[in-house]
Amino acid sequence: MTRKADRDQIRRQNRSIILKALRRQGPIARIDLGQITHLSPATVTAITSDLLAQGLIEGIESEEPKAPQSRGRPRSLLRINPDAACVVAIRLSVNAIDMSLANFAGETFLNKRVPFDSASADAASFPMLLIETIETFVGEAAVQPDSIREIGVAAQGVVDKGSGMVVWSPAFAGRNIPIVAPLTKAFDAECILSNDTNMITEALHWIDPARYSDTFAVVMLDYGVGMGLYLDNRLFEGANGMAAEFGHSNHIPGGALCRCGKRGCMEAYLSDYALVRAATHLPETTDPKEINAGVAGLAALIARADQGDNDALTAFASAGRVLGYGLARLLAILDPKRIVLTGAAMRAFRFMEASMYRGLEEALVEDLRQNYEIDVMPWNEDFIRRGLVAQAMDRLDKDYLGTETRKIASPRNRGAAA
Amino acid sequence: MTRKADRDQIRRQNRSIILKALRRQGPIARIDLGQITHLSPATVTAITSDLLAQGLIEGIESEEPKAPQSRGRPRSLLRINPDAACVVAIRLSVNAIDMSLANFAGETFLNKRVPFDSASADAASFPMLLIETIETFVGEAAVQPDSIREIGVAAQGVVDKGSGMVVWSPAFAGRNIPIVAPLTKAFDAECILSNDTNMITEALHWIDPARYSDTFAVVMLDYGVGMGLYLDNRLFEGANGMAAEFGHSNHIPGGALCRCGKRGCMEAYLSDYALVRAATHLPETTDPKEINAGVAGLAALIARADQGDNDALTAFASAGRVLGYGLARLLAILDPKRIVLTGAAMRAFRFMEASMYRGLEEALVEDLRQNYEIDVMPWNEDFIRRGLVAQAMDRLDKDYLGTETRKIASPRNRGAAA
DNA sequence: CAACTTTTTTTCGGACGTCAAAAAAATAAT
DNA sequence: ATTATTTTTTTGACGTCCGAAAAAAAGTTG
């Protein structure tokens, strides 16, 4: 049954809408906030004065109003108080921990990459390592630890949102690495673990909501194969937060050997090692662990294809056809209005494109191939961070319901404390 | 961006919750409504007196209070006014139009099946036929036509919710049969076209929300293969209302010939004709149109399997394995917590079960096979009607926002008009 | 330079929703 | 008849949004 509604809810939602608008539209006057949110000026004033009192936003006393000649009372601009909160975004990838600090305006003000040894990282050792790495990072930033309100972690592979563990990931030797529990305990902050491609999906929605809304899928071909789903205008993560494992959905029964041990997974045809395996005429049963591919191997293969190397071209063409079949299955099952292709392998898209469309055509009846578009998105590592930050901001906005804000720290020497 | 919230919304939602509780829990006292909905007694009184004034619900002046010995003011029960509205539920299947009339309490009070000739039904002829069939049916029911507020239509095959057309269906010879536009024009009622398996999904949620909520999938093996998806606690229909075409998602590239013309669709291994084709050793490329299967052929095949016929048993075992692969793909992509198997072919489930689980195991890495259950649901034709009615009730509840109700007709001679 | 115009922001009063508490209603128990 | 008990309704308070009016803060004009 749907939950009952009460008046708290409506204030909370409207506050959150205003915060989101402020974060997105930069400094803005109350009147324009009303336009954007469809709230009356009276309501905007009420809510913003609340937010001002809480210190979540601040007025700009700018000496230079940009529009010099305009009658009437000049607009007084509002903006998010960047120092009202602080979030940490962490990406766990092979041999590297990427960390970022972002303020309440959603701006990243510090990044750091720390290498670690994926091959030896397991459930026993990694959590402690991660905590120490974060503590060092936060210490260097001269941020008061208690101003950190959210920690978002993205990992490649299978993550279980319920238990807050990385079930399996190429970034770790071990399995079932607990992340959320140790971090929550070590830091006084909400911690949330997400799949990396889901964060790309969230980032796309944040960056261009007009284009990336409603129902779309993101497929990432990189080190491994990832997917993110935005369904009915929200990120879909499945009952256990494990959805969108496109890479391990089966393509051919008994087919090529996958890193997961099964035969015929999409990943076994599309990922870095699969492409290298195909291009070097290794049998499909070659153990992926014995193939030295990775993003570097992929890049080398793309270079060969660029020079017209036939093996490379054939490998990409075959992968394209498999991709076409995979997308056809997505279209049949989910009817998305858009599919976004991204990841390092997309630099080779021109070698896959024709066969991909051929695969799509072979695999799916025309009636179901009518209303969709495919975007090819240049790969941008930054997307994962932006998705993490966007998600954290969303959670922060909803957290600051009516409760008094915690003491607001000033991580850096910002002058503008009204 | 999320929509702004205002207080209309909250009243609407709480009204709708109360109506839903009344419909589900039968006659009930205000105090219990408060318990169920978590609304205060004051609010319950306010909302119910509103609904009473609108004639959507009515009090019961029962002479016999069921519980004879109890102190205190006796509870005065409320119930939905069944005559407040009337909906038509229509199922279009091969050679038959099934129609039902249901009242505002969600009770069906009249059913009728009218045969028609699917082989000659196309976009030009069918809409008129359907309108006339409905008009006759409604006429026989002695229902004032203007008390009909919603018409729900379910069809097998590919339906386009946006355009309100049946793109392709085994029930029709033609394609792109308009349904919503003609019916909306002919009757002064909202009309909505849905996929039949989606309605089964909706019905399951209505009948047992505790079990069928959050994220689950329904797979129907019958005449053709259908799927319904309930994701994040709502029916998912895709960007164009065409989602969940599991039957035409590809299983084997270049595989068995499907009714849709493509090769290797799930349907080409799982549906009636596929099973008959396999059991009679016809080549996989045999045109489905030349196979006389249908639900009757399927029943015959099940009978053969019951008697230990080897061809039949092998056919079911192979289909089971294919089904296992299909479910594995669903698990990988959507991570549902439950999969419901239904349809006429489920009477043969015991012949498919072992190979289905084998297929699941072959196709999907164990990590992704941890947290789900499979239900096998005896097939019940009634589900589609119940889903249609449940959907119509939902829409009605939300329609009766603050607007005055239309004049309430009394279709039958009901005494209880307070 | 004072009055007018224009635009933004704030204030005020009204309407409406929920809720807690009090009152009323209806019956059983004494 | 009176008291006790339980349900329902009423009342009053509080919170929210909105429209209208007022106030504020400029520029423009005579």
pLDDT at A416: 32
Instruction: Name the residue closest to D18, CA to C1'.
Output: A40
C-alpha to C-alpha distances, B176 to A75, B124, B173, nearest whole angstrom:
55, 10, 10
**Residue B335 at interface with chain A, using a CB cutoff of 8 Å:** yes
Is B248 close to A365, i.e. CB distance below 8 A?
Answer: yes
Helix (H) or strand (E) holding A91: strand A86-93
How many angstroms away from the CA of A268 is the closest CA of chain B? 12
Find tokens 């599309």 and name the residue.
A270
Helix (H) or strand (E) holding A78: strand A77-80
Asked whether residue A18 is domain-assigned, the answer is: yes
Looking at residues A377-390, what average pLDDT do you find?
92
> What does the alpha-carbon distance between residue A63 and residue A77 come to, in Å, rounded to a whole number?
12
Asked whether residue A415 is domain-assigned, the answer is: no
The answer to whether A321 touches A351, Cβ cutoff 8 Å, is: no
User: What residues of chain A, 118 to 157, have a C-beta less than 8 Å from chain B?
Assistant: none
pLDDT at A1: 66
pLDDT at A66: 53
Asked whether residue B201 is domain-assigned, the answer is: no
Which of A43, A367, A393, A397 to probe the B interface (max B CBs under 10 A)? A367
Is A365 close to B337, i.e. CB distance below 8 A?
Answer: no
Of B232, B236, B367, the CB nearest to A168: B367
User: Which residues of chain A are within 8 Å of residue B328 when distances are taken between CB atoms?
Assistant: 249-250
**Residue B227 at interface with chain A, using a CB cutoff of 8 Å:** yes
Nearest CA in chain A to B249: A329
> What does the alpha-carbon distance between residue B228 and residue B195 come to, in Å, rounded to a whole number?
8
Domain boundary among A44, A63, A80: A80
The answer to whether A213 touches A334, Cβ cutoff 8 Å, is: no
**Statement to judge: residues A183 and A212 lie in one domain:** no
Asked whether residue A27 is domain-assigned, the answer is: yes
**Statement to judge: residues B328 and B220 lie in one domain:** yes
The C1' atom of D30 and the CA atom of A67 lie apart, in whole Å, by: 26
Asked whether residue B417 is domain-assigned, the answer is: no
Token pair belonging to A49: 């004065």
- pLDDT at position B25 over 50: yes
**Statement to judge: residues B135 and B183 lie in one domain:** yes
Looking at residues B16-35, what average pLDDT do you find?
93
Looking at residues A8-25, what average pLDDT do you find?
93
Question: Taking CA A111 as the corner, what is the angle to CA A105 and CA A113, rounded to the nearest 5 degrees?
Answer: 150
Window A44-103, strand C contacts by Cβ < 7 Å: 44-46, 48-49, 70-77
**Statement to judge: residues A217 and A341 lie in one domain:** yes
Nucleotide nearest to B73 (CA to C1'): C26
**Statement to judge: residues B214 and B245 lie in one domain:** yes
> Smallest Cα–Cα separation from A237: which of A274, A202, A190, A188?
A202
Asked whether residue A1 is domain-assigned, the answer is: no
Side-chain-side CA neighbours of A312 within 13 Å: the count stands at 19
Per-residue flag: A1 CB under 7 A of strand C: no
Token pair belonging to B336: 């549902």
Percent of chain A with pLDDT over 90: 79
* DSSP string over A94-152: TTEEEEEEEETTS-EEEEEEEE--GGG--TTTHHHHHHHHHHHHHHHTT--GGGEEEEE
Token pair belonging to A152: 């978002």
> What does the alpha-carbon distance between residue B304 and residue B312 come to, in Å, rounded to a whole number?
6
Tell me the pLDDT tens digit for each residue of B8-20.
889 999 999 999 9
- pLDDT at position B390 over 70: yes
The C1' atom of D4 and the CA atom of B71 lie apart, in whole Å, by: 8
The burial class, CB within 10 Å (0-12 / 13-18 / 19+), for A157 is: buried
Asked whether residue B338 is domain-assigned, the answer is: yes
Looking at residues A11-19, what average pLDDT do you find?
94
Which residue range is the domain that position A367 belongs to?
A: 207-376
Tell me the pLDDT tens digit for each residue of A152-204.
999 999 999 989 999 999 899 999 999 999 999 999 899 999 999 999 999 99
**Statement to judge: residues A342 and A229 lie in one domain:** yes
Per-residue flag: B41 CB under 7 A of strand D: yes
- pLDDT at position A413 over 60: no
The C1' atom of D11 and the CA atom of B43 lie apart, in whole Å, by: 13
Tell me the pLDDT tens digit for each residue of B37-80.
999 999 999 999 999 999 999 998 765 555 556 788 888 899 99
**Statement to judge: residues B121 and B153 lie in one domain:** yes
> What does the alpha-carbon distance between residue A130 and residue A118 come to, in Å, rounded to a whole number?
12
pLDDT at B69: 60
The C1' atom of C18 and the CA atom of B30 lie apart, in whole Å, by: 16
**Statement to judge: residues B238 and B365 lie in one domain:** yes
The answer to whether A358 touches A321, Cβ cutoff 8 Å, is: yes
Nearest CA in chain A to B363: A250
C-alpha to C-alpha distances, B412 to A225, B87, B99, B106, B188, nearest whole angstrom:
61, 15, 18, 15, 20
**Statement to judge: residues B313 and B351 lie in one domain:** yes
Token pair belonging to B52: 């009473």
Looking at residues B305-313, what average pLDDT do you find?
96
Instruction: Name the residue closest to C24, CA to C1'.
Output: B73
> Smallest Cα–Cα separation from B104: which of B65, B58, B61?
B58
The CATH number linked to B163 is 3.30.420.40
| Cα torsion through A298, A301, A305, A306, rounded to 10 | 70
Nucleotide nearest to B46 (CA to C1'): D9
* Residue with the larger pLDDT of the pair B2 and A261: A261
**Statement to judge: residues A369 and A332 lie in one domain:** yes
Is A17 close to B7, i.e. CB distance below 8 A?
Answer: no
Is B253 close to A362, i.e. CB distance below 8 A?
Answer: yes
Please give the tally of structural domains in chain A.
3
Find tokens 């050997």 and name the residue.
A257
Nearest CA in chain A to B214: A239
- pLDDT at position B152 over 50: yes
C-alpha to C-alpha distances, B114 to A42, A328, B196, B414, nearest whole angstrom:
59, 37, 18, 28
> What does the alpha-carbon distance between residue A267 and residue A386 come to, in Å, rounded to a whole number?
26
Per-residue flag: B6 CB under 7 A of strand D: yes
**Statement to judge: residues B387 and B344 lie in one domain:** no
How many angstroms away from the CA of B193 is the closest CA of chain A? 17
> Smallest Cα–Cα separation from B232: which of A243, A353, A281, A92?
A243
The answer to whether A178 touches A165, Cβ cutoff 8 Å, is: yes
**Residue A264 at interface with chain B, using a CB cutoff of 8 Å:** yes
**Statement to judge: residues A102 and A34 lie in one domain:** no
pLDDT at B416: 32
Tell me the pLDDT tens digit for each residue of A287-310.
999 998 888 899 999 999 999 999
Per-residue flag: B47 CB under 7 A of strand C: yes
The answer to whether A127 touches A166, Cβ cutoff 8 Å, is: no
pLDDT bucket at B1, cuts 50 / 70 / 90: low
**Residue A207 at interface with chain B, using a CB cutoff of 8 Å:** no
The answer to whether A217 touches A330, Cβ cutoff 8 Å, is: yes
Question: Taking CA B22 as the corner, what is the angle to CA B201 and CA B62, rounded to the nearest 5 degrees?
Answer: 140
The CATH number linked to A18 is 1.10.10.10
> What does the alpha-carbon distance between residue B129 and residue B116 come to, in Å, rounded to a whole number?
9
pLDDT bucket at B138, cuts 50 / 70 / 90: very high
Nucleotide nearest to B5 (CA to C1'): D17
Tell me the pLDDT tens digit for each residue of B319-367.
999 999 999 999 999 999 999 999 989 999 999 999 999 999 999 999 8
Per-residue flag: A29 CB under 7 A of strand C: yes
Nucleotide nearest to B78 (CA to C1'): D8
Asked whether residue B2 is domain-assigned, the answer is: no
User: What residues of chain B, 363 to 382, have a C-beta less than 8 Å from chain A?
Assistant: 363-365, 367-368, 370-372
* DSSP string over B119-175: GG--TTTHHHHHHHHHHHHHHHTT--GGGEEEEEEEESSEEETTTTEEEE-TT-SSS
Window B74-93, strand D contacts by Cβ < 7 Å: 74-77
pLDDT at B68: 55
Token pair belonging to A359: 């695969």
